[in-house]
Amino acid sequence: MKTKTIISTLVLAVTLIFGPTAMAQSKMEKGTKMVGGAAMYPSKDIISNAVNSKDHTTLVAAVKAAELVETLQGDGPFTVFAPTNEAFDKLAKGTVETLLKPENKAKLQLVLTYHVLAGKFSGKDIVKAIKKGKGKATFKTVNGQMLTAIMDGKSLVLKDTAGNISMVTIADVSQSNGVIHVVDTVVLPGM
């Protein structure tokens, strides 16, 4: 009798400890990716997912300051090249703070919309365009300027109008209104 009680207690303890984790994992949607320590659910829009990534707090703050939240929660579809906090840290000292000032909203919008394409372009779509373009593909961004995609070995790389390079570190993070590709450097439009 004592053995049955001990076994029952152990089963209950294991269920209480691991049950919530197992339940959470079983609820993970197909196609969900982890970005910045958070699950990015394909059923949620770009903003609803991005606000949970600890690697994208600067980007989220910038999107809010630029008043682009509603746009990126819209139907889309959009392809967003999402710079990490570390990518923003690579900019010259004071750049982010300056861009976040209300009087610089138009300039901030120009920078952020340079990271967005109208339409949903998977990594595979971009690579296909690069092959078709004999080593490079040029895309018109939402701000109207061109952004070039090339391959560096097996890595997908973006090249801005000034020739600065940004590598895609996590591709194909599906969203309900498009796709996110995480990038390691902020690309800058001609201003």
pLDDT tens figures, 103-134: 999 999 999 999 999 999 999 999 999 999 99
Q: What are the Cα distances from residue 172, in Å, to 7, 11, 51, 54, 190?
A: 45, 40, 18, 18, 27
pLDDT tens digit string along 32-79? Answer: 776 777 777 788 888 888 888 888 889 989 999 999 888 888 888 999
Asked if 118 and 78 touch (Cβ cutoff 8 Å), the reply is yes
pTM above threshold 0.85: no
Q: Per-residue pLDDT for 3 more than 70? A: no
| Mean pLDDT for the stretch of residues 147-172 | 94
- pLDDT at position 46 is 84
The gap from C-alpha 32 to its chain's centroid, in whole angstroms, comes to 13
Determine the Cα–Cα distance for residues 63 and 47; give it in Å rounded to an integer.
Answer: 9
> How many beta carbons lie within 10 A of that of residue 170, not counting itself?
19
